[in-house]
A and B are shown apart, each in its own frame.
Chain A
Amino acid sequence: MSDLKYVGKSIPFKYADQKIAGDLKYVSDLSMPGMLHLKLLTAGIPRGKVKEIDTTRAEALDGVKKVYTFKNTPRRPFNGYYWYRDQEMIKDEVLLTDYVRHVGDRVAAVAAESSETAERACELIEVEYEKQEKPILDLEEALVGGDALHEKGNPFAEREFAYGDVDGLFAKTPSELIFSDKMETPKVHHAAMENHACLAYPEPQGKLTVISPCQLIFSVRLIISTLLDLPLNRVRVIKGNMGGSFGAKQETFLEPLAAFVARDLNRPVKIFFNRRESILATRTRSKILGKVKTAVSPEGKILGRDIDVIVDAGGYTSNGDIVSAAMAKKISRLYRIEHQRYHSYSVHTTTPPGGPCRGYGSPQIHALTEVNLDRAAAALGIDRVELRLKNLLHPHEKDLLGGPDIGNARIIEALEKGREEFNWTRKKKANQKSGRSGRYRRGIGVACATHVNGYYNVYPDFSGINIRFYEDGSILLNTSIHDLGTGARTIMAQIAGEVLEVDPEQITVLEGDTDRSPYDVGCHASRGTYVIGKAVQQAAVKLRELLLEETKKLAKNLPGVKPEEKLEVVIEEGRIRIGSDHYSYQEIISRIQLENQQELNVNYSYHSQANPASYGAHFVQAEVDTFTGLVEVKDYVAVHDVGQAINPLAVKTQIDGGVQMGIGMALMEEIDFDQKGYPLNTNFHDYHLINAPAMPEIRVFLIEDKEPHGPYGAKSIGEISTVPVAAAVVNAVNDALGKFLTTLPLTPPRIIDALY
């Protein structure tokens, strides 16, 4: 089939052995001489203006170095989502606040000699609030209630995207062909195994270094430099080893605080969150309340769609409005729909802020639209897979909303492949036979979905690469890749190794360090493989050219070569052939260094050429216990249109994890609040994830049909893998019950409530 040597191979991840043995040092494991521990005092109440903070008792505690509040920290507002200079956005967050907008809001911080002392001191801080104000929890109320957390009021943003003639279409469509749903998706915790952490330390000459397990070192540097008034060359940010992010570590809020304290006290400072803090005081998947209305012809052609969404940004703006735009930009990239409108409001509520979370709005918008399609299919008596097949986009078809070319879109093959592997028709017949009676009921569900490959045409989307040969033929690949645990470094080594015909084992891949790595906009938006991987491929091509060029210079001087002889110089199977003689890289590169006095070193900057769509079609068989409301996923098929799997093992593990997160969103994950705005589940005892015993085996199938601008034809998998999941699971549960449940997650009490 293909003659690829390293690409397409399931090579185990670099550093996996260290992780498994527990040898890898995460930021929380790091220690420095004289290091102080920083602990946050989070509000503990949902909302209120600070009247007075008394820190005297905390300060008196032995081992406490200093207590910080809004009184002695920078007041300059920022937005943790700020990722490139001059990005326009609402900046409404400060390091430590005097007005609490959610329970996890940062009110004070203690720097102490030990983390225990810092924690005890936090408990000794007495905060008096003017009064505890009314929480804002309900999104529809937030929209019209006139209550606001910030100057701009609620809603703080409104968006509309439309094409075609939506009003005209709905006016002429008979009501029996219009299908409406209202869907609530939950505020979800990212649940990376590693909680948030960072370490900041002062260096000579007023310089500051921060080690952070983040997704975007250059943005962390930018925010620190802006808030602390330091030129960029005085701030160095190093990406620390990471125990997962899923978007949670894409925003910057801990680093500037730690950096400020480190400078203020001239000592290293480490902050390390516990689970409660990670749930309440970081970011969440944005909750949405969506309404959708779809007009479908009796034959199953989707004629038009009208979507209204309220986005819950939580206590601070963050990316609340941007995630809304991201949702809008998915609606025209899956099905051919001639008339569409998307309208949204974004509101602040007294809950932890929404932020980037794997899929960035896509799981939410697909939950709304894919569950709604099932309603149409049921009413029209059309098979749910057939209905989708009638409307899916073909490769290179136009995105009617005007987005970038969808590229080599292979969703139709994916859906057909899934139908076959899942045994859709047979399972459907079996369900029809058993009917909807008895305690345990089985249902099947399907969902299709699309997601991005970077930011092409919307935001900066470029990546610098430095790649060099060492004189023994091994390679240093210096990138600003942030390996979030996905195996990104291994994948980059496979790509470079393929180009240069060098075993990936012989390639060291560096992660980001703002002082030493080339610039990159960060590892988010599923751009790691598609954009940075392409940058690596191109840089490696340049290095290969350089190697050949320098070898040609060298060839003249090789023993036995006549000066007038024109020699063919080529690379063959990881060796260099000059004329009829073969040489190892080591022999040649050593001589290039000695004789040509030239380093084989390439600096290359690549900017993305496209943003094709990635696709997935997921199939679920679920069994519902109608007595207890428990749902068990019995069978799961995930088919993805990935262009080319660089590392099939990595692709499979991404999909496994994506499905795990998605089932959680469908069935159990939700940061829940009581009516007064206090959180009900702030640890893993009360906040349930799908765990290993509850996971079905995920049967993964890949459609590999190369994407023109991807490295070796590859496109993204990290986010798309979780996008269709919740919708597919909900569709299976609804099929089992003969209902259209749309308030996620479908917890046992919600299912029981719907049944009795």
Chain B
Amino acid sequence: MSELKVYTPGEVKEVLKLLHDKEKVRILAGGTDLLLELIKLKREGCVLIDLSRIEGLEYIEKKDEELEIGSLVTFTDIHDNPVINKYAPALAAASGQVGSVQIRNRATIGGNIAHASPAADSLPVLLAAGARIKVLNAAGAETVLVEEFLHNKDKYRNHLITAILIPVKGDNMIDFFGKVAYRRDVATARINMGVRTVYQPENGKIIKASIFLGALSKTGVRADLVEEYLTGKRVDELERERFFAALRETVDKSIPGRYSQPYKRRAICGLGDDFLQELQREGSYE
């Protein structure tokens, strides 16, 4: 008979050993995604590694040009943290829109990345900022781009995410997060968007734009057409309709013929509009 075994190790190395030794292992951090599967896991048999006694993964630190966030930091803590609000405001914003208050109080950023739901709210922001994660397994530590991790999830099976490293937002950057859901709160994103733009302080020209859309495919979709359109332009040179057209085209390319395409290709312009306003507020060059 299959069974559910729960281990509650007190040290990271015990976690790594369990990850190495056991079959059908799942990690329990905040549990907000995992618990939905609990009945199934109980039935199929599973080894759960409960991280509630692991210490030292709940920190937020600024190190030079990077923010380092322990993987067990909750979304509530991220959303409320002044350092994150200053250096990664889009992540703070996205964290404030995950699930409900109760979910945000439990759910961890590490869990959000590991579970990697297509509609996860933290991912477009992390992807746009070029964030990396620290992973550990019995063989040792490794630092990997979130983007790479998401595309090679099998490779990182049986690893533990210990930290998230986010390049800080500089004074010449504009970060943005936006989400469309059918309800303002407690709803899964129909589409979400994370942006980091870098502009030249001398003339306000956008020199780099990094834009990722969520809830369109298994992993975030890079809006390369939109990036291309923005790059090299000043905010006052942007034409709304052309910008929106690039957004729509990105959606069309990602989900051609899908039932939700007609809606998402329009709704994305809502996020585009919000982003343009943010650009105008933050980036208008006088």
Contact = CB atoms under 8 A, between A and B. Distances in A.
Contacts of B186: 691, 693
A694 interface: yes
B262 interface: yes
Nearest to B185: A693
Contact of A752 (B43, B263, B273): B263
B214 to A, nearest CB: 15
Contacts of A632: 184
Interface stretch (A51-59, A426-434, A622-630, A721-729): A622-630
Contacts of B207: none
A342 B129 CA distance: 62
A627 B273 contact: yes
A35 interface: no
A685 B189 CA distance: 11
Nearest to A691: B186
B31 interface: no
Q: Max chain B CB contacts within 10 Å: which of A116, A668, A752, A756?
A: A752
Given A120-B43, A439-B273, A627-B273, A752 B266 contact: yes
B262 A749 contact: yes
Contacts of A627: 266-267, 269-270, 273
B184 A668 contact: no
Contact of A628 (B42, B180, B185): B180
A749 B263 contact: yes
A628 B195 CA distance: 19
B186 to A, nearest CB: 6
A748 B262 contact: no
A629 B183 contact: no
A581 B193 CA distance: 81
Interface string B258-286: 00101100110110010000000000000
B182 to A, nearest CB: 6
Given A627-B269, A628-B270, A748-B267, A668 B182 contact: yes
B183 A752 contact: no
B187 interface: yes
Contact of B183 (A116, A625, A694): A694
A207 interface: no
Contacts of A694: 183-185
Contacts of A747: 182
A699 interface: no
A656 to B, nearest CB: 18
A756 B263 CA distance: 10
Interface string A181-194: 00000000000000
A136 B196 CA distance: 50
Interface string A615-658: 00000000001011110100000000000000000000000000
A691 B186 CA distance: 8
Nearest to A119: B39
A753 B43 CA distance: 43
Contact of B267 (A120, A628, A691): A628
A448 to B, nearest CB: 28
Interface in A675-731: 685, 688, 690-691, 693-694
Contacts of A668: 182-183
A685 B188 contact: yes
A630 B188 contact: no
A752 B185 contact: no
Contact of A748 (B42, B43, B185, B263): B263
A756 B266 contact: yes
Interface string B172-211: 0000000010111111101000000000000000000000
A401 to B, nearest CB: 40
A748 B267 CA distance: 9
Contacts of A439: 270, 273
B184 A748 contact: no
Nearest to A439: B273
Contacts of A756: 266
A668 B266 CA distance: 19
Give the interface size class of chain A. Answer: 20 to 34
Contacts of A688: 182-183, 187
A628 B266 CA distance: 7
B184 A752 contact: no
A625 B43 contact: no
Contacts of B269: 627
Nearest to A632: B184
B184 A693 contact: yes
A396 B250 CA distance: 63
A629 B43 CA distance: 41
A574 B144 CA distance: 79
Interface string B95-125: 0000000000000000000000000000000
Contacts of A690: 183
B267 A629 contact: yes
A120 B273 CA distance: 50
Contacts of A685: 188
Nearest to A686: B188
Contacts of B263: 629, 748-749, 752-753
Nearest to A689: B183
A155 to B, nearest CB: 31
A122 to B, nearest CB: 13
A691 B260 CA distance: 23
A42 to B, nearest CB: 17
A736 to B, nearest CB: 16
A628 B188 CA distance: 15
B270 A625 contact: yes
A665 to B, nearest CB: 15
A628 B190 CA distance: 10
A650 B185 CA distance: 27
A688 B190 CA distance: 13
A162 B143 CA distance: 77
A439 B180 CA distance: 15
Contacts of B273: 439, 627
Nearest to B180: A628
A116 B42 CA distance: 10
A625 B269 CA distance: 11
Contact of B262 (A120, A625, A691, A753): A753
A215 B263 CA distance: 41
A694 B262 CA distance: 25
Contact of B182 (A120, A630, A693): A630
A632 B182 CA distance: 11
Contacts of B262: 749, 752-753
Nearest to A692: B185
Contacts of B185: 691, 693-694
B21 to A, nearest CB: 28
Contacts of A630: 180, 182, 184
Contacts of A116: 42
A631 B190 CA distance: 15
A668 B190 CA distance: 14
Contacts of B182: 630, 668, 688, 747-748
A385 to B, nearest CB: 30
A519 to B, nearest CB: 43
Contacts of A755: 266
Given A439-B273, A628-B270, A630-B184, 18 more contacts: A116-B42, A625-B270, A627-B273, A628-B180, A629-B267, A668-B182, A668-B183, A685-B188, A691-B185, A693-B186, A747-B182, A748-B180, A748-B267, A749-B262, A749-B263, A752-B266, A753-B263, A755-B266
Would you list the 5 A-B pairs with minimal beta carbon distance, nearest first?
A627-B270, A628-B270, A693-B185, A749-B263, A628-B267
25 contacts: A116-B42, A120-B43, A627-B267, A627-B270, A627-B273, A628-B266, A628-B267, A629-B263, A629-B267, A630-B180, A630-B184, A632-B184, A685-B188, A688-B182, A688-B187, A693-B184, A693-B186, A694-B185, A748-B180, A748-B182, A748-B263, A749-B262, A752-B262, A752-B263, A753-B263
Interface of B: 42-43, 180, 182-188, 190, 260, 262-263, 266-267, 269-270, 273
Interface of A: 116, 120, 439, 625, 627-630, 632, 668, 685, 688, 690-691, 693-694, 747-749, 752-753, 755-756
